[in-house]
Amino acid sequence: MKRKALISGITGQDGSYLAESLLEKDYEVHGVVRRVAIEDPEHRLWRIKHILGDIELHPASLESYPSIFRLMRAVQPNEVYHLAAQSFVSYSFEDEFSTLNTNINGTHYMLSSVREVASRARFYFAGSSEMIGEANVTPQNELTPFHPRSAYGISKVAGFELTRNYREAYRLHASSGILFNHESPRRGFEFVTRKITSHAAKVKLGLSNELRLGNLDAYRDWCHAGEYVRAMWLMLQQDAPDDYVIATGEAHSVREFLEIAFRYVGLDYQDYVVSDPQLYRPADVTLLRGDSSKARARLGWSYNRSFLDLVREMVDRDLEYYKKA
């Protein structure tokens, strides 16, 4: 019999890669989606358009416990991947309340319904390096103390602690990935990498002549999202649940990303970038560089792609996209 996976956040970057990878492993893939997404597939389901015939989507809301509970009871998944969240850090400064409500309650509802009606299911929580936030050591690993710098980071710490508590108190097979930044051509346009690559492409094609940005001196450990979903799956294949840092071990600044992307299309970013005070966060995270020795040793996970290739792949895909537009 096929194994069943339920993914919240299936319409997002990570959810779409995860769904593809589980289908390749012959899983029956179910996704939790908001009803509006089903009503507007062109705009909201573009990342999973090519696999819509192979997966089953269920309308439910992470703000409604009964809807999650009923879904969990009906699907009876073997594995649950909880990826859905308000994941844009900047927005969490604009609306702390909805970020905390959606992210904390959503995780709680998922965990509680697994416990109530699918307690043998294995559970994955999408934790974030934003939980580590402003770290006192580099590189950061599973033992680095948390110092989140936004409501988003705080909401992820709460989700992480809930996951750990369900593991310890109710013996759920519940694991968290402490995922560092992960990007791809499927990244949303509001995140800095896609904002840069889409503008490099638009400037090159004569469709734009300005890119407004905030802090260029933040360092992030950027990797390809397609490689991270493998780590999520591996965590749920272990005999015992645990928490793992997933990172490349390399950090690059926003400025480096910008230089590479623009240079790749033969341009100098300094001719186009405008510093916008509105895009600086009230508190930013200075440097994230992860140490994923534990994941490498215990999960056998590895990452071999280069930063340069990631930037180039994103620029290439944006050039194709705007040429067709």
- β pairing state of 122-128 and 173-179: parallel
Total residues interacting with ligand G4F, rule: CB under 6 A: 23
Task: Give the CA angle between residues 235, 237, 238 to the nearest 5°.
Answer: 75
Binding status of residue 181 toward ligand G4F by CB under 6 A: yes
Binding status of residue 180 toward ligand G4F by CB under 6 A: yes
39 is catalytic: no
Backbone angles phi, psi at 231, to 5 degrees: -65, -40
Between residues 40 and 190, which has the closer beta carbon with respect to ligand G4F? 190
**Identified catalytic residue from 20, 28, 79, 130:** 130
Closest CA to 268 of 259, 277, 276: 259
Residue from 78, 105, 113, 129 that binds ligand G4F (CB under 6 A)? Answer: 129
98 is catalytic: no
Q: How far is the CB of 255 from ligand G4F (least distance, A)?
A: 9
**Identified catalytic residue from 128, 184, 198, 292:** 128
* Three-state SS sequence of 125-141: EEEEHHHCECCCCCCEC
Binding status of residue 223 toward ligand G4F by CB under 6 A: no
Distance from CA of residue 121 to its chain's centroid?
22
- The SS3 of residue 99 is helix
128 is catalytic: yes
Round to whole Å and give the CA distance between 175 and 166: 10
Residue 148 is given by DSSP the state -
- The SS3 of residue 4 is strand
Residue from 67, 128, 144, 198 that binds ligand G4F (CB under 6 A)? Answer: 128
Round to whole Å and give the CA distance between 198 and 262: 10
Binding status of residue 16 toward ligand G4F by CB under 6 A: no
Binding status of residue 83 toward ligand G4F by CB under 6 A: no
The residue type of 177 is G
Q: Residues 108, 166: contact at Cβ < 8 Å? A: no
**Identified catalytic residue from 152, 228, 272, 303:** 152
Between residues 109 and 219, which has the closer beta carbon with respect to ligand G4F? 219
Buried b or exposed e, range 277-299, using 16+ CB within 10 angstroms: eeeeeeebbebbbbbbebbbeeb
Q: How far is the CB of 90 from ligand G4F (least distance, A)?
A: 5
H helical segments located in the chain: 13-24, 35-39, 41-44, 65-75, 89-94, 96-100, 106-117, 151-170, 192-204, 225-236, 254-264, 293-294, 307-324
Between residues 57 and 89, which has the closer beta carbon with respect to ligand G4F? 89
Interface with ligand G4F in residues 188-207 (CB under 6 A) = 190-193, 195
Between residues 130 and 259, which has the closer beta carbon with respect to ligand G4F? 130
Between residues 16 and 113, which has the closer beta carbon with respect to ligand G4F? 16
Q: Given the rule CB under 6 A, which of 117-125, 264-272, 279-287, 299-307 is the region that contacts ligand G4F? A: 279-287
Q: Given the rule CB under 6 A, which of 105-113, 114-122, 228-236, 276-284 is the region that contacts ligand G4F? A: 276-284
Q: Given the rule CB under 6 A, which of 40-48, 83-91, 241-249, 264-272 is the region that contacts ligand G4F? A: 83-91
Binding status of residue 281 toward ligand G4F by CB under 6 A: yes
Active site residues: 128, 130, 152
Binding site for ligand G4F (CB under 6 A): 87, 89-90, 128-130, 180-181, 190-193, 195, 213-215, 218, 220, 254, 279, 281, 284, 288
